[in-house]
Amino acid sequence: MALWGNNDAVGSGGTVSLDYITLAVTGTGTTFGQTGAAQEGDVIRFGTRGGGEYFGDAVIVSIAGTQSLTIDSTAGLNGSTISGVPFKVSQLPKFTVLDSSFSGAGRTDAVNTNLPFVGTASTNSPVGFSTAFLSVPEGTDLLAGDFIVNGGSDIRIVTVSSTQVTLGSTISAGIATGDSLTFKRAMDGYDRLCYGISTDISGSYHVSHEGWVGVTTYMGTEGELRVKKEVLVAMSGINTATDGLGEAIIYPTPEG
For the stretch 137-190, pLDDT in tens is: 766 678 777 888 998 888 888 888 889 999 988 999 999 999 999 888 766 566
Residue 231 has pLDDT above 80, yes or no: yes
Q: What pLDDT score was predicted for residue 255?
A: 40
Residue 104 has pLDDT above 60, yes or no: yes
For the stretch 74-95, pLDDT in tens is: 988 888 899 999 999 999 999 9
What CATH number does the domain located at 110-187 have? 2.40.30.20
Q: pTM of the prediction?
A: 0.68
Q: What pLDDT score was predicted for residue 38?
A: 94
Q: What is the mean pLDDT of residues 199-206?
A: 60
Length of the chain: 256
Q: What average pLDDT does the structure give for the chain? A: 82
Q: What pLDDT score was predicted for residue 195?
A: 84
Residue 129 has pLDDT above 50, yes or no: yes
Residue 51 has pLDDT above 80, yes or no: no
Q: What pLDDT score was predicted for residue 193?
A: 81
Q: What pLDDT score was predicted for residue 60?
A: 97
For the chain, give every residue range classified as CATH 2.40.30.20.
110-187
Residue 201 has pLDDT above 80, yes or no: no
Q: What pLDDT score was predicted for residue 256?
A: 35
Residue 113 has pLDDT above 60, yes or no: no
Q: What pLDDT score was predicted for residue 245?
A: 45
Query: How many CB atoms are located within 10 Å of the residue 179 CB?
Result: 17
